[in-house]
Amino acid sequence: MRDFILSVHLKNMKKTSHTKQEHFIPRQSYLEYFTDKTDKKPFVWVYESPRGLYQSFDTAIPKQITPFNLCKINSFYETPKSPVNLLEQALAKIEGDYKSILETKILNRIELSEEEKQKVALFISTLEARTPTNKQHYHKFIDDVLNLVKSNEEQFIKGKKSKLHEELDQGKEENTFFAISVATAIDLNRWRFSDFLFLNVQYNDDDQFFISSDFPVFQYDFAMMNSFYGVPPNSATIEVTVPLTSQIALLVNNCGFNGYASLDHNMVRELNNRTFNGARGYLLAHKKVDKTFVVRCTDRYRQSFLLHLMSKRLQNEDFERKSKKYKIKNKPGEANPAKKD
């Protein structure tokens, strides 16, 4: 199983004890940034059945779970085709690199180097690929292929089990296909060529924070809404949103938007709306949410981050043009300076 892909990520790593319970959402580099720290042991507010939360909020009872006990499954990445904890150790190295960049650069709004950007891209690529949702997708694909294989077996070899049939059954049973998909995500690093814009919450109101979920990487492309095909990572109009902490999110795009920007009330709720839609098993929050928060994030029409950012860019360009012509000093949205007598 593609050991050559992972070997480069495991160089100079010390051997550690075997990990049995493996997190599919990283604990130290991700979950801990969505914790409620009012208790001695920080915990995450967990809401189950997120897609029905809008209708059943009055009866929903959130759980308080520590990051250590959240989002983990026994031997989730293991397969007899590779050494024990091979993927777990590779992912741990990626998580460690990302956490260092998050603490030293992203939280302080400092520009990333190209090497640091590649490490963040790798973290997002694996965060997207390593979830139970993706594992279910791969197994569903294998089941579809198996149905075709069985049909051909009935038609051409009188129902006898073919070698391909046996290989597919074995690969699914041994978790080989999912493990290869995660290894491939490490190898390809699919977002390495994209632009990264880090989004900060602009206002400190009670409902102004980012939530997350068990499937936090959400893709959308308004230009391909009615397409039968998936959205390619090099699409010019793709919008990939990822909440990174309760106050910072990432917009992966291909329109040249890089660096840092602030989001107003409306676009914070837009990003949370996408997190709601991407969630499968549960939502994660650093504080207890109320029904008003859920309604504001879900009962809305979807809006484009790219159009929002392009509109702001045009406003700034228009301001710069007019400021040169009329010698205006204040920026759009700022109060006019008081005139001196």
**The pLDDT of residue 8:** 41
**The pLDDT of residue 229:** 79
Residue by residue, what is the 3-state secondary structure of the chain? CCHHHHHCCCCCCCCCCCCCEEECCCCCCCHHHHCECCCCCCEEEEEECHHHHHHHHHHCCCEEECHHHCCEEECCCCCCCCCCCHHHHHHHHHHHHHHHHHHHCHHHCCCCCHHHHHHHHHHHHHHHHCCHHHHHHHHHHHHHHHHHHHHHHHHHCCCCCCHHHHHHHHHHHCCHHHHHHHHHHHHHCCCCCCEEEEEEECCCCCCCCCCEECCCCEEECHHHCCCCCCCCCCCCCCEEEEECCCCEEEEEECCCCCEEEEECHHHHHHHHHHHHHHCCCEEEECCCCCHHHHHHHHCCCCCCHHHHHHHHHHHHHHHHHHHHHHCCCCCCCCCCCCCCC
**The pLDDT of residue 15:** 55
**The pLDDT of residue 336:** 42
**The pLDDT of residue 329:** 58
Written as tens digits, the pLDDT of the chain (341 aa) is 445 445 545 544 555 668 889 999 999 999 999 999 998 899 999 998 887 787 788 888 899 999 999 999 999 999 998 899 999 999 999 999 999 999 999 999 999 999 999 999 999 999 999 999 999 999 999 999 999 999 999 999 988 999 999 999 999 999 999 999 999 999 999 999 999 999 999 998 888 999 999 999 999 999 887 777 788 888 999 999 999 999 999 999 999 999 999 999 999 999 999 999 999 989 999 999 999 999 999 999 999 999 999 998 888 776 677 666 666 555 554 444 444 44
**The pLDDT of residue 261:** 95
**The pLDDT of residue 317:** 72
| Full-model pTM | 0.88
